[in-house]
Structure 1
Amino acid sequence: MPAKIFRPAKTAMQSGKAKTHLWVLEFDQERPRVIDSIMGYTGSGDMRQQLKLTFETRELAEAYAVREGIEYRVIEPKEATRKNVSYTDNFKYTRMQPWTH
């Protein structure tokens, strides 16, 4: 069963970088999900899909996958680019766009 190794990005609901420094090994979906006809719940008999293993480094996650014989792919993290902006930049004389209320 294939798996993916990645470092999660921060969610839109948080401003900090909590839980983004760990690497995660997550198994891919093996069987399609089934919708229960009576209750409408979505279910699956695939128990490995519920697993999320966390590792301190990418190398540890890859070593675990090799040791356990798991096919894996690595998804490289995208680093966020931050612009240094200041509130006073809104009032500069060299501002290209007009400032409005």
Structure 2
Amino acid sequence: MRAIIHKPSKTAMQSGRNGNVSRGNVWVLSFPRSEGARPDSLMGWQSSSDTARQVRMRFPSKEAAIAYAEAHGIDFDVREPTSRKVKPRAYADNFAFNRKGAWTH
């Protein structure tokens, strides 16, 4: 089974661009699901015999996560984080005379 080393994105409840404040400042080594989940016969909850999926290890850097995986003989894939491209806009641009688009107010 191959592990995945990735940097998690911010949650939907977080805003701003400072990555050190959000969850996105650590790298995570986790294992994907190897078998499908099935409903438990008694309670109906999702259950699985795959215990490796419960393992999530956090590392301060990508190099530390890779070093740990190589030292313990774990096959891994590294998924680089993607950055968001932001176009700076001002509130006054909504009322500009050279605005392209229909007025909605």
**Distance change in 2, residues 1:93/1:27 (3 Å):** same
Q: Which runs of 5+ in 1 are unaligned?
A: none
TM-score by length of 1: 0.89
Q: Which amino acid aligns with 1:6?
A: H
Percent of pairs identical after alignment? 42
Q: 2 CA distance for matches of 1:37 and 1:51?
A: 25
Q: Which runs of 5+ in 2 are unaligned?
A: none
Deviations 1:47-83 (A, max 9, x none): 2211111111111111110001111001111101111
RMSD: 1.4
1:55-74 equivalent positions in 2, closer than 5 A? 55-74=59-78
Deviations 1:2-26 (A, max 9, x none): 1100011112222144011211101
Q: Which amino acid aligns with 2:10?
A: K
Number of residue equivalences? 101
TM-score by length of 2: 0.86
Structure 2 match to 1:81: 85
